[in-house]
Structure 1
Amino acid sequence: MIARSLLFSGAMGSSIIALSIGSPVHAQDAEASLMSDIVVTARKRDETAQSVPVAISAFNGAQLEALGVTESKDLGKFTPGLQWKSDSPFGGNVIFVRGVGNNTTLFTGSPAVAVYLDEAYLNSQAFHGFSTFDVDRVEVLKGPQGTLYGRNTTGGAIKYITRQPDPDKGLTGEVNVNLGNFGLRKVDGGIGVALSEKAALRIGFVSHDRGGIYDDYVRDTKTTDVNVKAIRLQLLVKPTEKFSILLGGTYARSRSDDVRFKRVDTVDPATISFGPGGPSFSGRCANPGVGTAPGCTSILQLLGVPDDLNKDAFKVQSNLSRRESLERVDSWGAWLTMNYDFGGATLTSATSYYHLNLKGPQDVDATALNIAAIYDEGRPRQFSQEVRLTSDGSGDFRWVLGGYYFRESITQLKPVNLAGIGIGFGSAGKQKTDAIAAFAEGSYRFTDALDLTVGLRWSRDKRDVDFTYFTFASDGRENYRYADVLAAGFGPGSFTLNGRKKAWSNLSGRITLSYKIDDQAMVYASANRGYKGGEFNFGSDNPVTAGFVDPETVDAFEVGIKSQWFDRRLRFNAAAFYYKYRDKQETLFDTGTATLSNADARVKGVEVELTAVPVQGLTLNAGLSLLDAKYTDFPACQPDGSACDGNRLSDSPTSTLNLLAKYDFDLGGRTASIQGGANWTAKRFFDFRNVGYIADDGYWLFDARASYEIMDGLTAALWVQNIANTRYYTNGFDVSAFGYSLLLPGTPRSYGGSINYRF
């Protein structure tokens, strides 16, 4: 079942200005330099990214704006090994790091790559599509996080750290205004004010509007517009120098037009037959491609759907108007973080609650006729509490220990309306999750150069599920909600399973040995295990398969180097890794359902990140990922019952490359900058069956930006993304029962201008 969800929280702010060696550097220039030392909290204490023996890509807020990172999924263009895709304007997020991920966007699923907003772990993928706003930095931690982070994850962690109130500053703030094609109107930023010597307030905000970016060539309209509003308030109180209290709250809403798919017909017309149950087919055509290739058809065409002869990825068709395809999302959250400094250690308590309501349709026949549609309804609510004690980092022994509790309640409703043939099916369910964990990590410095880190985490997850699979008679309406299903009554084949419970426990952790060659270079080696708890099969249409699948684990081994050379004119970081992936939780799309299964795999690869300042004002940046990710034991995954052993993992391109060149120069006593970027993604399959037409063959994307510092604190810029207007796809689904697949187009050429003001 094609599923998706959503949250957002705004836009990412600032601009990037590279380091100018030997010339005056303004404060914003220094913050935005690609060679700057970004302070991260990957190990729950402040450290520079270069000093942490963990593969991590970090960006501060000033860097993200110029890189064009206005939505969370844009991070994938600039982070080696990261693939981020979604099948709705801001939701349905599926994240892969180094080939590790789970290709499902069910509200009830837990991600293989965890997403954090400050101290809060956001579990449901409904929360992961936010474009961020008023952000201080983003940290992408690669590899299993089996010790320090919330609920354990097998792929990595992405941390968004917002700008915090500061009692030591008076009135400060930042406003970004972006205007562009497709009717882009976006304003975001934040304002902070000191209320006293011991209290401060910060307000972050975003308003993001954009028209449709795809042409519906049948209806002669534009589709997939954006309408997002969000606000965040944070109050910091420091009663004493040792004690701080941070209280925050946020509200966000979206009324955005849902995505449109491009159809690929795959049926051999000669194999179609008609029986008591209607039309069926037994063979696929030889060379299916985007639209309707010669010698291909689909069962949809037997219902009156004409051939789709338009091969343009940005030209789609749909029977849904904007009113009929509107996603309605409302979310709010609150958090309380307290820190007390005992002198040698700091006690932290982090409490959070997040709440979301989503209702929204998808046109999953990709035609102008009312054949098939899904209406998602999801209501995740989550509460988390972490308490930890962290040493101050002085001395040869540094340590962290703590406990974690997580509780989540989710209601998920998903009717699939096959109005074209007068039937429908779907699922309704409630899931409660309780998770507890205890963790500890210690690092010991044997010498000034040699350091050893050992960490362990014990975790226990418990799921409590009520589940109903239903069929119903469709009356032909375009959007069939769950309330409509209840009114019509359940049909034959429906069943209910209530009170299904299961719990899992696991011990995971990490051991890392690092060695400083000198003050500029460090090598490290690590072995760690990541764990993700079991899942219930909410996509099942059969009581036999409507059960739990096993937890997945990843044993990861990595060696790496972090280094800076030639008086900080060259930064070279690299890592080589090998993963043993056990019981990977895979989603089998077939006949409109999404059945979970377990599979084993192995992953190996190399990543390189390089930044250089060869001459004054010129910065060059490159990131390379080489990946070999294959299944080693995946039985009965094919429609004919054969195995997928040896197939490539979905969303694991063999190579990605990002390049950036930026030149800063003096113009009238002010800083002017020009930059160009290129991003390559090799062929990637969107399905573990490695079907050629559910894939993208690889593509380049080119971006450019020019900026000028008009006055202190005020910068103007012009930008363009996807200069060549490259047609590409970011996701795909095999809808086997109807003999076609769906591809999700990427973003066409976008251009505009921006103003950034800091005070």
Structure 2
Amino acid sequence: MKNSRRLALPALWVLAAASMSNPALAQTPAEGEGLSPSEQNAQLQDAPEAEPAVSEAGLGEIVVTATRRATNLQDTPVAVSAIDQGLIEQASPRDIGDLAAFVPNFSAATVTNFNAASFAIRGVGQNSIIVYFEPPVAVLVDDFVVSSVQTQLLDTFDIAQVEVLRGPQGTLFGKNTTGGAVTVRTKRPDLDNIGVEARAMYGSFNTTRLQGAANIPIIPGQLAFRGVMGYEYSDGYYKNGACYGPVVAFVPTKFAGVEGCGDGENIGGKDVWNARAKLLWEPSSAFSALLQYEWIRDTSESVPGVNETRPGQLFDTLGVGAATPPGGDPLDFAGITNRNSNLLKMEKGHRISVDGLYLNMDLDVGAGTFTSVTGYRKQKSRLPSTYPNQAPVAADGEVLSLFDATRDDDRTTKQQELRFASDFGGPFNFVAGGFYQKEKIDFCVAQILGFQDLVSPPLPFATWNNAPYLLCNAQKSRSTAVFAEGNYKFTDQLTLTVGGRYTWEKKRWYGRQQTFIPALAGGFDPGLSIGEALDASVFNFPAGVIQVLDKANEPTYRASLGYQATDDLFVYATYSHGFKAGAFNDQIGSFAPFGNDLDAFALAASATDPEKADSYEVGFKSEFLDRRLRLNVTGFWVDYKDLQKQIVVPIEVNGLPFQLTRFFNAASATVKGIEAEATAVPVDGLTLRAVLGYQDGKYNDYVTPIPAGYDLSSAPLDRLPKWQWTVDGSYEIPFGDHKVTLNGNVAYTARNLSTQSISTASDNTYLNARTLVNASITLADIDDRYFVRAIGRNLTDKRYKIGSQVVGGLWANSQYGPPRFFGVEAGLRFMTE
């Protein structure tokens, strides 16, 4: 605690010195009011890609759409942060997860063993890859809800603005959440100008990134096309250097006594293509239609990690769980089997493909604007992994998969939203509409439990190392909602906002207990074979499949009171009630613990109840010193009820310890804290910014249906770093027709819980505290038509965990963030006038 407070002092000092920033779009003071959504989008699109400008009027206005209207951040009565193209360029993030450093109490990591987003806000977050789990932090791209955490770590090249709304959402934004929402707005086509934008970057680990965009007016002023494409490749920053052995076996096996190490090659590399094609039609100032096609093909290598098995765990006893040697660099001792047989296909990597089609339309009818958001998104994921991250144990040409598995799913999402935003010109206005989402997920996991061959006799028909153990289930879901929010200006200074949404959720789950391939049809056919895990889908083999229905009808609501105390000071108070829908668990049926009792299986497969949150906020937004200083502060208190806890539950299979991830509405909790952001431009060319987040939370109660080994209510909340701060500065030095921009930042995140066990507190895993230092130097022409940038990330070469878990009495493993990185980026942009 003392160290955390001491580390937070630099940010507190910066706050006191008024050297803080709220990174956002620079706008002229009068912009954003009384505009249709199409005009708002154009306004956001046309914002300069630079730091907030300083003029005689001071800092430019920040325009956000947190209320479904273009409003000035400084009189918007919600806790929202905005990040613009200028900051994104200078920070040179790998994806939107890196932008969390610029948002208070927003934590970004990855799900252990996956390149999947693990976002957390104010004490609730996602730390599981479970495909049916509803993330407490939603991600929306151009108003379409991206429901899969596997594709939420978006590339930032085509992004115009990111807004992070903290606290329960749902009244106005898509799916309901208890933590918050990340709304991403991509760049729109320009109707009048031909344009080209291109960037190329090369850096450490043979990292190569190529990005380009072209804008072509087809009918000037009415119809335009924008095409965007990007490619990223790297060798990976891990080394396949884990060692093992001599292997101990309790039964006769050819693997007994063998030992060795990995080949030391780089592993964990990236190989990703992505593209967007956009067609914007505006036949008049009253109507616009934006049609988009999204395309992603990700064939990155399977995610490696570091085995951190502890003394006494089974894999340590078997001699296959060697941890990093004392004093060794964990990145040099990662492990992966790269096994291709028995459905794994690991050398093909974590394969993800996305095809999406979206249509956003706005119609201004004078009294207001109708907006329609229509979307269809199809995602396929094939995710083979070596879960213990051990070295590839081999004997007689055969690789031993101690615990390898591939998690494969097909997901189809359809969405329709229709809303109306009034523009009456008087004291009262409102936004109202309806939302509909339909989704189908087909899921199978094929596990290879080769460690069983070291401790038990082989199966009657094969060894465990050559018999995929299949768990398949599926879900069809539908979410329907109506919503409305109105605001009334009692005076020019005092505004009341009240809104609500009512949601109908319906989910149907299909599941079958885990089984081997020969038993898929209900009998036992040794000749039965399949080509990939999803060939065993519950829809292809219905024998033993059960169905479980879940329904929930829930309200969300919000009330805000805003008061413009002076021209430079806005104060507000907000109360909001939100919920997150109940969820099924894709791991129910693992190890077939229910036998032939399908009723018990169906009961265990039941969905959780909705999770609920009541949030209270008070804050102020201010500007001083002729608008050269902007300081925004929010205090909050959130009460969570029926928290959906992902509990690591120990079980025993064939006399050996295992674990399952189970979902329970197990707890209630309270989280309170402070969030602060500001911008200061003390002299022309120098922009100082900082972000400070403090949050403190505790469980009020924590009870699970399964007896716990310790007092769970004493555990820390998941993904709740007590302190988070960032100090950032940019200095622009003009000379002639060129300029040099120096940018640097220091970002601190406190230690926080990654996964929790119910058996013993010693099995809890944590993401360690970290302080990361990044910098860039940019040489550009004065009009930003071309640039060369040197990039440095994690300059102190910090080792820090981004995912960690303990698997009962078997093993422990972690993923680590990238080490020190250096890169050079060059780019150009051309636009006709």
> Normalised by the shorter chain, which TM-score bucket?
0.7 to 0.9
Structure 1 residues 307 and 573: CA distance shift in structure 2, 3 A: same
- For the 8 Å contact 1:102–1:586, the answer to whether it is kept is no
Of 288, 296, 300, 1:256 maps to 300
What displacement does 1:325 show? Answer: 6.0
Equivalent residue pairs, number: 698
Quick check: 1:174 aligned with 2:191? Answer: no
* 1:596 aligned residue (647, 651, 663): 663
Q: String of CA shifts for 1:77-125, please: whole Å, max 9, x gaps.
A: 2211111222479742221111122332222222111110102111222
Task: Kindly indicate whether residue 665 of structure 2 is the aligned counterpart of residue 665 of structure 1.
Answer: no
Q: Structure 1 pair 587/482, CA: closer, same or farther in 2 (3 Å)?
A: farther
Counterpart selection for 2:743 from 675, 679, 692:
675
Q: Decide whether the 8 Å contact of 1:88 with 1:259 is kept in 2.
A: no
1:302 is matched with 317
Deviation at 1:182, TM superposition (A): 0.9
Evaluate the alpha carbon distance shift between residue 345 and residue 17 of structure 1 in structure 2; reply closer, same or farther with a 3 A threshold: closer
Unaligned runs of 5+ in 2: 1-22, 27-46, 242-261, 340-345, 394-400, 454-463, 519-528, 594-600, 650-657
Q: Is the partner of 1:548 in helix, strand or coil?
A: coil
Aligned to 1:147: 171
SS in 1 for 2:150: helix
Task: Check conservation: 1:108, 1:412, Cα contact below 8 A.
Answer: no
SS in 2 for 1:398: strand
Aligned-partner Cα distance in 2 for 1:39–1:400: 18
Q: 1:104 aligns with which of 106, 125, 128?
A: 128
Q: 1:398 matched to which residue of 2?
A: 429
1:561 counterpart (620, 626, 638): 620
Seq. identity, %? 29
TM-score (norm 1): 0.87
Q: What secondary structure sits across from 1:648 in the alignment?
A: coil
Q: Distance in 2 between matches of 1:569 and 1:673?
A: 19
Counterpart mapping for 1:531-546 below 5 A: 531-541=579-589, 542=593, 543=601, 544-546=603-605
Aligned to 2:606: 547
1:429 aligned residue (473, 485, 503): 473
Could you report, residue by residue, the CA deviation over 1:145-202 in whole angstroms, capped at 9, with x for unpaired residues? 13101121111110110111232x2212322221111111112242222111311111
Does 2:160 correspond to 1:136? yes
Deviations 1:247-271 (A, max 9, x none): 11111101101222222223xxxxx
Question: Which is greater in Rg?
Answer: 2
The amino acid of 1:394's aligned partner reads G
- Which of 359, 381, 394 is the matching residue for 1:336? 359
How far 1:647 sits from its partner (Å)? 2.0
SS in 2 for 1:77: helix
- State the partner residue of 1:410: 441
Could you tell me how far 1:632 is from its partner in structure 2? 1.6
Question: Which residue pairs with 1:374 in the alignment?
Answer: 405
CA separation of 1:427 and 1:731: change in aligned 2, threshold 3 A? same
Say which of 385, 409, 414 aligns to 1:383. 414
Question: Residue deviations 1:406-446, cap 9 Å, x none?
Answer: 10000111122212224464521110011100000001111
Match of 1:707 in 2: 778
Correspondence for 2:512: 468
Q: Deviations over 1:680-699 (max 9, x none)?
A: 11111112456476113311
SS of the residue aligned with 2:684? coil
Matched, 1:583 2:598: no
Q: Which has the higher strand share?
A: 1
When structure 1 is superposed on structure 2, of 28-37 and 237-246 the one drifting more is: 28-37
Instruction: Identify the match of residue 90 of structure 2 among 43, 66, 73.
Output: 66
- Residue pairs, 1:434-449, within 5 angstroms: 434-449=478-493
CA distance in 1 between counterparts of 2:708 and 2:547 reads: 34
Are residues 339 and 624 of structure 1, via their aligned partners in 2, closer, same or farther at CA, if it must alter by over 3 Å?
same
Measured at CA, do residues 691 and 189 of structure 1 come closer, stay the same or move farther in structure 2, by a change above 3 Å?
farther
Letter in 2 for 1:379: D
Q: Matched residue of 2:714: which SS?
A: coil
Kindly provide the amino acid, as one letter, of the partner of residue 752 in structure 1: G
For residues 627 and 489 of structure 1, do their structure 2 counterparts lie closer, same or farther at Cα, with a shift above 3 Å needed?
closer
Shift of 1:497: 4.7
Instruction: Give RMSD over aligned pairs.
Output: 2.7
Describe the shift of the 1:489–1:91 C-alpha distance in structure 2 as closer, same or farther (beyond 3 A). closer
- Structure number with higher helix proportion: 2
Aligned equivalents of 2:113, 2:295: Cα separation in 1: 18
1:191 equivalent in structure 2: 214
* Aligned mates of 1:447, 1:488 — CA distance in 2: 64
**Structure 1 counterpart of 2:555:** 507
Any idea what SS the aligned residue of 2:99 has? helix
CA distance in 2 between partners of 1:17 and 1:366 (Å) = 41
Q: For 2:315, give the aligned amino acid.
A: L
- Residue 273 of structure 1 corresponds to none
- The whole-number CA distance in structure 1 between the counterparts of 2:352 and 2:762 is 34
Amino acid at match of 2:429: R
Over 3 Å counting, the alpha-carbon distance change for 1:53 and 1:649 in structure 2 is same
Distance 1:64 1:725, change over 3 A: same
- Is this contact kept in 2: 1:685–1:692, CA < 8 A? no
CA contact (8 A) 2:51 2:86 kept: no
Amino acid in structure 2 at the alignment position of 1:301? D
Equivalent residue for 2:266, pick from 222, 235, 238? 222
SS at match of 1:239: strand
Deviations 1:22-58 (A, max 9, x none): xxxx954456889543322111111132231111111
Change (3 A) 1:737 1:428: farther
* Counterpart-to-counterpart distance in 1, 2:123 and 2:24: 32
Moved more, 582-591 or 346-355: 582-591
SS of equivalent residue, structure 2 residue 225: strand
Q: Any conservation in 2 of the 1:18–1:663 contact (CA below 8 Å)? A: no
CA contact (8 A) 1:219 1:317 kept: no
Q: Give the equivalent residue in structure 2 for 1:277.
A: none
Residue identity in the other structure for 1:622:
A
| SS, match of residue 73 in structure 1 | helix
Match 2:381 to one of 326, 347, 358: 358
Q: Aligned to 2:320, what secondary structure does the other structure show?
A: coil
8 A Cα contact 1:256 1:327, kept in partner: yes
**C-alpha deviations, 1:458-493, integer Å up to 9, x for none?**
00100011012204499xxxxxx9756799999xxx
Q: What is the CA–CA distance in structure 2 between the aligned matches of 1:595 and 1:17, rounded to whole Å? A: 41
- SS of residue in 2 equivalent to 1:265: coil
Contact 1:375 1:414 in 2 (8 A): yes
Contact between 1:174 and 1:191, CA under 8 Å: does it hold in 2? yes
Q: 1:485 to 1:237 in 2, by over 3 A?
A: closer
Q: How far, CA to CA, are the matches of 1:489 and 1:67 in structure 2?
A: 44
Q: How far did residue 61 of structure 1 move? A: 1.8
Matched AA of 1:226: K
CA–CA separation in structure 1 for the residues paired with 2:548 and 2:319: 43
CA distance in 2, matches of 1:229, 1:437: 35
Q: Secondary structure, in 3 states, of the residue corresponding to 2:308?
A: strand
C-alpha contact (below 8 Å) 1:729/1:744 kept by paired residues: yes
Match of 2:722 among 654, 661, 667: 654
Asked whether the 8 Å contact 1:537–1:546 carries over to 2, the reply is yes
* In structure 1, C-alpha distance between the alignment counterparts of 2:319 and 2:543, rounded to whole Å: 33
Q: Relative to structure 1, is the Cα distance of residues 458 and 503 closer, same or farther in structure 2, using a 3 angstrom cutoff?
A: same
